[in-house]
Amino acid sequence: MLKLENMSANTQVTSTYDQTAPQAVGAIGILCKAAGDPLRIQILKVLQQNAYGVLELCQIFDIRQSAMSHHLKILSNAGLVASRREGTTIFYRRNPLNPDIDLQSVQKALFQAIDKASVDAEVAERLTDINLERANASVEFFNRNVSLFEKNQDLIASWSDYGDSVESLLDSSVESTKTALEIGPGYGQFLKKLSAVFDQVIALDNSAEMLEQCEQRSKKQELTNIRFQHGDTFAAIDKGITSDFVSLNMVLHHNPTPGDIIKHCAELLNDNGVLLITDLCAHDQDWVKQSCGDLWLGFDPQEITDWAKRAQLAEGNSLFLTQRNGFRIQVRQFKKTPHIEI
């Protein structure tokens, strides 16, 4: 009798499996076929951390727009890439989660395999050129508009509107108060608080003109424990800078490779250090690109979470603030927790 019950259960399981298997196999086949082309593998590798427009991808891979659009359509139909319109440009990025929940584990394994591969040398060189063009455009804007920085920022969000919330989250974040690093300090509105909390503060900016303005204002406030460093996160890593706290205050939407800068922040943090990101949520107000030098129209919170997770940072507290002009601000806390897989 026991044998018959087991046979009945096995029969039922087999029947259920037979009904679902053809659909699952077909979906996996579509996914693998989409990623099976060598060029599309390279595209998925390039889209690992950052989003690019069609024309940028054409330049990176040196192919015609019609051909690139064809490949992106195949990847999109398979759920491997997602698109987002910013003004007149559509940007593509890798889709962290396949819309088919049954394929998410397969897609994750596929991405992990792709991430271990390296892009062709020529592709890597053209990718570097694209990112450098973006970075130079941002630095040039701030060097040219240093006197208008505060006015431009006020068009979107003034420090007075959200600074108290940022400082409050800082107070609940700090474990060690030896060193802090603020990347892109602007006019230094956050530096006064950082100077009072930490023994040593480093203000890092790739715009020499902005950094000079920041230093002058800090001297007027008699902030004596701040070191002003010209350069970017690459330079900070090269100099061996490490800190217990890193601030990215309204910086990501000006950065050409936001996923990379979060990864760099993780490298700059000491164990148990905290990264505090303040930035705009995704919006559709394209005028900020011309008026404020923004490269990105904010970010979906999940995008920042995904970048931080890939950098092995654990998500902490978050605040979301709505401005009077319709912009929403996200204040995000992430921690570098050693020896724990995120």
Question: Is 126 a domain residue?
Answer: no
Same domain flag for 194 and 75 = no
DSSP 8-state assignment for residue 222: T
Distance CA 263, CA 13 (A): 45
- In the chain, the number of structural domains is 2
Same domain flag for 158 and 283 = yes
pLDDT at 306 over 70: yes
CATH of the domain at 233: 3.40.50.150
Residues written for the chain: 342
Give the pLDDT band (50/70/90) at residue 54.
very high
Mean pLDDT, range 36-47, rounded to an integer: 91
Give the pLDDT band (50/70/90) at residue 43.
very high
pLDDT at 215 over 90: yes
Torsion of CA 309, 245, 248, 260, to 10 degrees: -40
CATH of the domain at 81: 1.10.10.10
Same domain flag for 77 and 186 = no
Q: Which of 210, 293, 301 is nearest to 253 (CA)?
A: 293
Same domain flag for 253 and 318 = yes
Question: Is 133 a domain residue?
Answer: no
Question: Is 17 a domain residue?
Answer: yes
Question: Is 132 a domain residue?
Answer: no
Question: Which residues form the domain of 70?
Answer: 2-119
Give the residue with greater pLDDT, 248 vs 29.
248
Q: Look at the block and give the residue holding tokens 């330079």.
A: 235
Give the residue with greater pLDDT, 158 vs 204.
204
Same domain flag for 237 and 310 = yes
Distance CA 111, CA 107 (A): 6
Same domain flag for 241 and 302 = yes
Grouping H, G, I as helix, E, B as strand and the rest as coil, residue 205 is strand
- pLDDT at residue 339 in the model: 66
Distance CA 153, CA 74 (A): 40
DSSP 273-332: EEEEEEEEBP---TTHHHHH--SSS-B-HHHHHHHHHHTT-EEEEEEEEE-TTS-EEEEE
Question: Is 340 a domain residue?
Answer: no
Question: Is 140 a domain residue?
Answer: no
Same domain flag for 208 and 107 = no
Same domain flag for 285 and 196 = yes
Same domain flag for 9 and 75 = yes
pLDDT tens-place string over residues 67-89: 999 999 999 988 899 888 877 78
Has this prediction a pTM greater than 0.85? Answer: no
Same domain flag for 189 and 302 = yes
Q: Which residues pair with 180 in a beta bridge?
A: 201, 245
